Amino acid sequence: MRLIDFAQAPDQDYRWLQQQIDALPEGRTFYFENCELPAGCVPANATVGLYKASARYAMFLEGSVRYSGSNRAMINLSRGPHLFFRNFSEMKRFLQTLPREPDSPETAPEQEEDACDLNTVINAEEISLPQRTALSATDYQTIQREMEKQIIGQKNAVETIAHQVSLHLNKSNPKKPLSIIAYGPPGTGKSESAKSLAKILSRLGPHEYSTVWTELNTFTEAHSVYRLTGSPPGYVGYDDKPVFEAVANNPYTVFIFDELDKAHPEVLKTFMSILDEGRCAARKELADQSREYNFRHCIFFFTSNFRLGGKDNKTGIGFTISDDIVDIRRNDDAVEISYRENEPEDNFDTVTKRIFHDTEAARAAFVKAGVLREIASRFNCFVEFQELCDEAKIGILAKQVIETGFEYDIKLTYISSEILQSLVDASMSENVLTVRSFKSVIEGYLAAAFAEAGARCKGQAVRLEGTIEAPEIVD
C-alpha cells in the first residue's frame, strides 16, 4: 500500500478505517506494514500505525524517517513521534493533505525548452524548513502569566515552575523527564498548578499533553509498586493497566503524584531510574513491540505536605529543641532563654540563583526528613507553596464562585461587592484549615439561585446581584 492512498481514499474507506480503529482494544494499534512513502522520504517504505487513546486519534511512523519535501503534513508526520487529533474528522483532514501522487512520465506535460530545472539550480536535500518548537527559554513569562490566571497568591512558586518547564520544553532530545516536588501546607495550590500545566502547554506548544493523576496515599505497601509498572506474570493484577502505560499512548504526559510523603519507600525507589534515565521496563510487550516506557518528554509533578522551606522546617518530632534557641541558662530561681535573631531574607539577582538556592535547601531538608539521599538527588526542582494571604484567599473565593457557576452552566461576568463581602465574612470568620472549605459556604448560599438560573439562562453570560439572603441572577 502507498501512503498517498490515504489522501485519495473515498469516504467509505475512511468510514471503514474509523471502524477498525474504534474496534481496537485499549492499548492496541492498527498497522499498515511496509507502506510506500512519498518521494523525498528515506527510507522509501515504513510501517504506519494508527490508534485511539482517551477519545483522541493518533498516527505515527515506525522507525526514523527523513523527508526532504515541502508538504507540511508529511514534515510533521516524519518528525514524530506521534501526532494526536481531537477526533477522526481532524485526522481525516490531515490525511487528505498528504502529498498527492505525482504525474506519471507518460502523462506529465512536456517541458518547454527554456523551462528551468530547479534540480540544477539548488540542492533541495541541503535545505530544511524551520521547525515549530516549544516556547523559547526566555519566554517562560508566557507560561507564568497563563498559570497566574489559575493559581492565586503563589508568585514565586509559579515563576519557578514556569521557568523549569520552559527549559525542559526547549530540549529537542531530552535525556530524562522534568521532575518537580511542590511542598507546603494543604490547600495552597500545589495540585491545581499541576492540573493547569497540561492545558496550558497544549494551548501554547506544538504537542497535546495529557494528565495522569495518582494518589500516592494508597501506595503504602511495598507490593503497590506493581500498580505503577505492572504485575509480573502469574501475580494478581497482571491484566490490570499500570499507571505508567499512559506514556505509551502519549509520550507528552504530565504525571501528577499527590502526597509523596505517604508512599512506601519501595515506591519512591521505582522513580529513581525513571527520573535519572528517563525510562522504565514494562512487564508486558507494548503496542510498538517494545518492553520499555519512555518518559523523556514527560513532566513528573509530585506534591507533599512536608515543610521543607526555611523557617517552616524548624519543627521536629518528639522532645526536640527549636533551632531558634541559642542558649538556656538558670539565673537564681528563673530560667533565661536566648533566641537567634531573625536573619534577613536572601535577595537573588536572577531567577536561576533563587531556584538553585531554594531547591538545594529543600533537598537537604527532604533528606533530613528521612528520605534516602539517592532518591532526593533525582528530583530536578523543589517548589515551596506558602500560606495564602487574606488578599489571595479573597481572589480564590471569587474564582470558586465563578467555577461553581460553570457547574450550573452559567457564566458569571459580574459579582456584586455586597455578596462577595458576605461570602468573605461567612467563610473567613473561622480559621479554616484550607480554602477548599469555601466551596461548602458558596453552595450553601448560592446553589438554589444558580440552579434556577441554569435552567433559565443555560450557557448565557449573567450577573450576580442582590444580597446574600436574596441573590439575583440577571441576564
Structural domain boundaries in the chain? 4-102, 133-315+322-339+346-387, 390-474
Residue 117 confidence (pLDDT) above 80: no
pLDDT over 70 percentage in the chain: 78
CA distance 157 to 385: 6
* Residue 164: closest CA among 420, 380, 413: 380
**What pTM value is reported for the model?**
0.63
> Which fold would CATH assign to domain 390-474?
Helicase, Ruva Protein; domain 3 (1.10.8)
Please report the pLDDT score of residue 379 as a whole number.
92
Residue 131 confidence (pLDDT) above 70: no
H/E element, 33: strand 30-36
CA distance 214 to 335: 51
H/E element, 418: helix 417-428
User: 133-315+322-339+346-387 architecture in CATH?
Assistant: 3-Layer(aba) Sandwich (3.40)
Per-residue b or e along 422-455, where b marks 16 or more CB atoms closer than 10 Å to that residue's CB: bbbebbbeeeeeebeebeebbeebbeebbeebbe
Q: Strand pairing of 56-61 and 83-85?
A: antiparallel
* Residue 95: closest CA among 2, 182, 184: 2
Mean pLDDT of 168-178: 89
Q: How confident is the model at residue 111 (pLDDT cuts 50, 70, 90)?
A: very low
CA distance 278 to 298: 9
CA distance 102 to 8: 12
Contact predicate 196/150, CB 8 Å = yes
Please report the pLDDT score of residue 103 as a whole number.
38
Please report the pLDDT score of residue 60 as a whole number.
84
Q: How confident is the model at residue 282 (pLDDT cuts 50, 70, 90)?
A: confident
CA contacts within 13 A on the Cβ side of 262: 14
Please report the pLDDT score of residue 296 as a whole number.
92
The reply to whether omega before 43 is within 30° of 0 (cis) is yes
Mean pLDDT of 360-365: 90
Please report the pLDDT score of residue 312 as a whole number.
44
For residue 180, the SS3 value is strand
Distance of CA 20 to the CA centre of its chain: 30
Mean pLDDT of 1-30: 77
Please report the pLDDT score of residue 158 as a whole number.
93
